[in-house]
Each structure stands twice: as C-alpha cells, then as structure tokens.
Amino acid sequence: MATNETLSAADELAKLSSHTLKEKTGRNWSEWIEWLDNLKSDGRAHKDIVTLLEDHVENGWYRQKIALGYREAIGQRQLGELLSGYEVGVSRTFPIPVHRAWELIASEEGLSTWLGPLVDGCIGMGESFKTQDGIMGTITVLAPGSHFRVAWKPEYWRYNSTLQVRVVGSKSKSAGKSVISFHHEKLPRAADRDAMKRHWQEKLSDLAEIIKGK
C-alpha cells in the first residue's frame, strides 16, 4: 500500500504529470493511488491492475500508465520497465574520432563482432538477416556516420525488440574521442534486460580490443 508521504508527493509517476492524468482520466495520481489501495491492489500483477481499470478508464494507454505509476509508487515497478517492455542502454568512450568509430562498427569485422557472423541476408537499409547465433533482424534505419536501428529477435522470443547502435563525439575536453552506445528496447522480461546489459557490455569490450590492436 502506498504511504501518505507518497500520496502527497505523487506529482509525477510513470513520466506522466498528475495534472495531465486528472485531465484525461478524472483522477490525479493521489486519487488513483488511493482508489487502487482501497481495492488492495498492492499485491496484484500489472495486468490485473490494468483489468481493474477497464471499466473506469476508456483509453488503454492511460490504463497502462496508471498501473505502472501505481506500481512505481509502491516500489513494485522494476528498473527499466516501460509500457512496451524493458529497456537498457550501455556506452563506452573510445580514443578514436567519430568517423573511425563508425567505420569500425559498420565494417565486416565490426559487424561480425557486435552483431554476429551472418548465415543469411545482408546488412543494408531495409535488409533482413540471420546470424550464426540465431538472431533474426531487419535494418529499419541506417544513418551513415551516426546510427543503426534494428528490429532484433532471438529465435526464442515471440516479438521483435528494437536495438539502436549509435556513434557520437565525446564531450571530453580531449579531442579525437567518441562514444559508441547500444540502446535496447522492448525487451520481454526483466531477466532479458539484465542479460542484454551484460551482452552489450561484452560487445563494447570486444570492440575495445579491436581498437587496441590497430
């Protein structure tokens, strides 16, 4: 159950202001939290809270937001959890300029390192592929010198996730540095978030070894 302190401070939850919530649903965060507390919702799963809201909130997106915000208020919502699943981002600064960092991640050696060796398809805008490790995907955005966006799915996942691989200039005072980042969204479970965080951290370390050897 939410505490009185949480209720009085609940101006924004689930990245949605109390004012907007009141305007769209007729109740602000404090009022929704009290309403859900009265139904003993603190022990319910997210989907069950959404079901409770069906007869009271017409818009499905706001039902999801209220459920997320309530679970956030009671400390039940997990790190990286969004409406569309879970997300994680990792990045690393490298001692090379942006153009060289892009050349690395877009090269055959770099792609084989962070994406994996291909067994089918190719890498290009709108192209689909399958890797040696069973990853299936499609390149949905390819902005040379900047980033890839990929629909990315292991064989055992039901739906695609979204992977973005980006290169930007470092804000460090030392010139000639760049940042390579992996941002992974729409992950099915919290366990997948943890696994993909480790996975992309390892890929950044592998890229660092390539740079060190050049």
**Residue finishing a domain among 59, 77, 95:** 77
Per-residue burial over 85-103, b = 16 or more CB atoms within 10 Å of its CB, e = otherwise: bbbbebebbbebbbeebbe
Q: What does the pLDDT read at residue 83?
A: 55
Last residue of a domain, one of 61, 77, 93: 77
The CATH number assigned to the domain holding 205 equals 3.30.530.20
Query: Structurally, how many domains does the chain consist of?
Result: 2
Statement to judge: residues 155 and 190 lie in one domain: yes
Q: Give pLDDT, residue 214.
A: 66
- Are 134 and 155 in contact, with CB atoms under 8 Å apart? yes
Question: Closest Cα partner for 188 from 50, 64, 80, 115?
Answer: 80
In degrees, rounded to 5, the angle at the alpha carbon of residue 159 between the alpha carbons of residues 156 and 162 is: 110
Instruction: Give, for all 214 residues of the chain, the pLDDT tens digit.
Output: 544 444 444 467 767 888 889 999 999 988 898 898 888 887 787 888 889 999 999 888 888 888 888 877 776 555 555 555 678 889 999 999 999 999 999 999 999 999 999 999 999 999 999 999 999 999 999 999 999 999 999 988 888 999 999 999 876 655 689 999 999 988 877 778 888 899 999 999 999 999 987 6
Where is the domain boundary, 43, 77, 111? 77
At 70, is the secondary structure helix, strand, or coil?
Answer: helix
Count of alpha carbons within 13 angstroms of residue 208, beta-carbon side: 15
Count, residues in the chain = 214
Q: Is this prediction's pTM over 0.75?
A: no
Q: Which domain holds residue 184?
A: 85-213
Residues 127 and 194 in one domain: yes
- Let me know whether 41 and 98 are in one domain: no
Q: Are residues 29 and 127 in the same domain?
A: no
Looking at the fold, whether 177 and 146 belong to one and the same domain comes out as yes
Which strands sit side by side in the sheet containing 85-94, from one edge to the other? 81-82, 85-94, 178-187, 161-169, 147-154, 135-143, 128-131, 118-121
- Amino acid, single-letter form, for residue 63: R
Q: Do 10 and 103 have their domain in common?
A: no
